[in-house]
Amino acid sequence: MAASKVCAVIDYGMGNLHSAHGALQKVAPETQVLVTSKPEEILAADHVVLPGVGAIRDCVGEIKAQGIDQIVAEVMKSKPLLGICVGLQAMMTHSEENGGVDCLNLFEGEVKYFGDDLTENGERLKVPHMGWNQVETLDHPLWTDIADGSRFYFVHSYYVDAKNKDQVKGRGFYGKPFDAALGQDNVFAVQFHPEKSHKNGLQLLKNFLNWDGQA
């Protein structure tokens, strides 16, 4: 009998770990889903998830303090990696949040504030952007069986603006266009919360666990 696949959800003290773990386990009951901070478990896993919620300075600070940045860089060399929400923002070069934060620079680009005067069709929009929003999907295996324009659940005041638009795999619009998903080689990252996005989010997580890291 073949050993079950292992998915490691990185625990650095910041992230919606319980719901991410539950959603991953739901879509792939045969997969062993670990919430772990142990480098040896993360590096031994078949798939790795970098979650994140809250302030970017705290997230990046903990990632660097615990050496998770070095582990993520190692993971990126060889296996499928999924970033979620602030996990995506932490992968960028720099964020405007908290007066400016240098991030991990795994994707070149900026994390920018939506603004206090965000409007659409003459109506003022609330920030943070919280709720369901359509995503324009661009060709990638993780969108398998997910229709273009499907809705996903977002909670964010800051948005990603990638320097290399070839890496953009999903786009959203909330008063202004923003990059909702990035992908390069065996790395994929999303601004929305797939674990809170019902059918489409679960399908994306299932696609991730079935993905061999080839774009």
The 10 Å Cβ neighbour count of residue 18 is: 11
Return the SS3 of 114.
coil
| H-type alpha helices, the chain | 17-27, 39-44, 56-65, 68-75, 86-90, 198-210
Q: Beta strands 168-173 and 187-190: pairing type? A: unpaired
Q: Known catalytic residue: 103?
A: no
Residue from 7, 59, 85, 103 carrying the catalytic annotation: 85
Q: Known catalytic residue: 195?
A: yes
Residue from 47, 129, 156, 193 carrying the catalytic annotation: 193
Residue from 59, 103, 129, 195 carrying the catalytic annotation: 195
Q: Which residues pair with 137 in a beta bridge?
A: 170
> CB-based burial of residue 29 (10 Å sphere; 0-12 exposed, 13-18 middle, 19+ buried)?
exposed
Q: Known catalytic residue: 74?
A: no
The structure tokens listed for 137 are 């999907």
So which residues are the catalytic ones?
A: 85, 193, 195
